[in-house]
Copies of this chain bind each other. A is one copy, B any other.
Amino acid sequence: MATKPSIPKGTRDFSADIIVKRDFIFGTIKEVFKLYGYQPIETPAMENLSTLMGKYGEEGERLIFRILNSGDFVETFREKDKADLTEAWNLFISRINKVGLSKVNFIELVKSYQDKNDRISKLMFNYFFTNMKVIQSFILKNKNHNNSSFIKYLNQYRFPHLLKLLERSILNKTELLKGFSEKGLRYDLTVPFARYVVQHHGEITLPFKRYQIQPVWRGDNPQKGRYREFYQCDADVIGSTSILNEYELIRIVDDVFTKLGIEITIKINNRKVLTALSEYIGEPDKIIEMTVAIDKISKIGFDDVIKELKNKGISDAAIEKLTPILLMKGNTRSKLEGLSVFLSNSLVGEKGLQELETLISLLENANILSEIELDLTLARGLNYYTGAIIEVKSKTIDIGSLCGGGRYDNLTEFFGLKNMSGVGISFGADRIFDVLTKMNSFQLTKKQVADFLVFNLGKEFIPTYLKINNLLHKRGLSSEVFPDHSEYKKQLAYAKSKNITYAIIIRNAELEKNELNLLNLITDENKKILMRDIDSFNFSG
């Protein structure tokens, strides 16, 4: 009868030793967010599908986990179906009442359902179409009678038949989804943030600087380092167009990774420059194809990017114009200058370059420890960026992006609020965890404070054990009494498995002298101390 226990693929259990490490990462990020005046918000795990849909592209949308409506949803759906058909039928009957009994009128009426796309109209059309002959013969036989006998006939013989047909009809996918699911799990923190800003518009003061550290869920195919449940750590400012915000976010990135001890390169780009580039090469309509392709340059290399550009229908002339720009070398300053030559005729290009110039000037005077690199091939797939684009890579470990973000001008427009420019970054806790693991950097998370196990070596000592335990608790020191009177060895193994610092051992010998045995489990050092000294003894972790 026992169920072999497991968890859904792509999800994880976390044990204490992993949680300590993850909390070190979350804590570091949170601390820096707070230092810069960002305030936390939390949003529900479930969002309405209407909030989530139309924001992530077809690809992303497929990955949203949908939640079944609660309650007896199949029953509810069937009931609604029946009610819909009854309503449609009543309308049909009232129309017959209006147009009067005749073959032509009836056919016209049935035809009016032909072009409608809803389930009920389709069903009615098919039903009458299939049964047209029988019904027409009724009309012919009864043409001298009035309408009411026809309506009686329809109500009595045809409607029950139709209802049965409806019950038996197979629901298609869209219908099922509509009836069964109106909520989905949070896919990222950006769309819920936009929804939050619009929904709470009256309560928040602009610019609104928020951070949010919560899990998101994506039905991605699980693979190494990719999970179906993972945390995002986002900071965004909304309601300010100042480049000081981009500057501040990059400082945050620099601070976080400095605190974590990870050397990074911060790549920056600007979506307006990409727009200008697509215009400069004469392919303004292909900007998405162009950016998606050049975004892959670090993964698949220059030659394959050129191939992909060709495949996407970008002309040879355009590729020729693009090539020297993609291959542009040199430092950020010289790249900026080079670009301004190419894009000198473009208004949007000028604007983008000016934004980049402002940001880079601020950063040059900022004592940033990370390397800053202008990378024109950086696009970050996401279509909602409109200005700065930012991405962070480890300098020593090749593992993909550790953090990314950018400016978006239109995100709240989805929810009816215009002219709210925002800029944000998102840290990937799992990747950072992997980098720190590979760097063997988690010694940072070792505990600073000693903790204790009071060994349970006999029922008669329990009052003493509990007293010692309480005294340690009063000092704010973590301590526990082993609950069962059991072998010394077993209790020692327990203490070691929990990485406990000190064992406290009290038997008759100690009790008689009012002292206790303090065994340091790390150094194996053994000390006797008087019980009354427990209040003031200097333990160290």
Contacts and interface: CB of A to CB of B under 8 A. Distances in A.
Contact of A219 (B40, B70, B241): B70
Contacts of A365: 463, 466
A474 to B, nearest CB: 10
A180 to B, nearest CB: 7
Contact of A205 (B34, B68, B242, B497): B497
Contact of A237 (B466, B483, B493): B483
Contact of A74 (B40, B176, B476, B478): B176
A133 B470 CA distance: 84
Contacts of A68: 65-68, 177, 180-181
A74 B176 CA distance: 9
A200 B481 contact: no
A46 to B, nearest CB: 5
Contacts of A456: 244
Interface size class of A (residues with CB under 8 A): 35 or more
Interface string A358-379: 0000100111000000000000
A7 B215 contact: no
Interface string A158-182: 0000000001101011001100111
Interface in A227-249: 228-229, 237, 240-242, 244-245, 247-248
A298 interface: no
B229 A45 contact: yes
Given A35-B479, A44-B229, A46-B8, A67 B66 contact: yes
Interface string A1-30: 011111110011111100100000000000
A413 to B, nearest CB: 7
Interface string A259-283: 0000000000000000000000000
Contacts of A366: 466, 470
Contact of A185 (B67, B72, B215): B67
What 4 pairs between A and B have smallest CB-CB spacing? A2-B416, A70-B219, A37-B480, A11-B44
Interface of A: 2-8, 11-16, 19, 34-37, 39-48, 50-51, 62-63, 65-68, 70-72, 74-75, 167-168, 170, 172-173, 176-177, 180-183, 185, 195-196, 198-200, 203, 205-207, 209-210, 215, 217, 219, 228-229, 237, 240-242, 244-245, 247-248, 255, 362, 365-367, 413-416, 451, 453, 456, 462-463, 466, 470, 473, 476-481, 483-485, 493-494, 497-498, 500
27 contacts: A3-B50, A5-B51, A7-B43, A7-B44, A7-B47, A8-B182, A15-B200, A19-B41, A35-B473, A35-B479, A36-B478, A36-B479, A37-B478, A37-B498, A37-B500, A45-B185, A62-B71, A66-B67, A71-B219, A168-B170, A176-B180, A206-B494, A237-B483, A240-B484, A244-B462, A244-B483, A365-B466
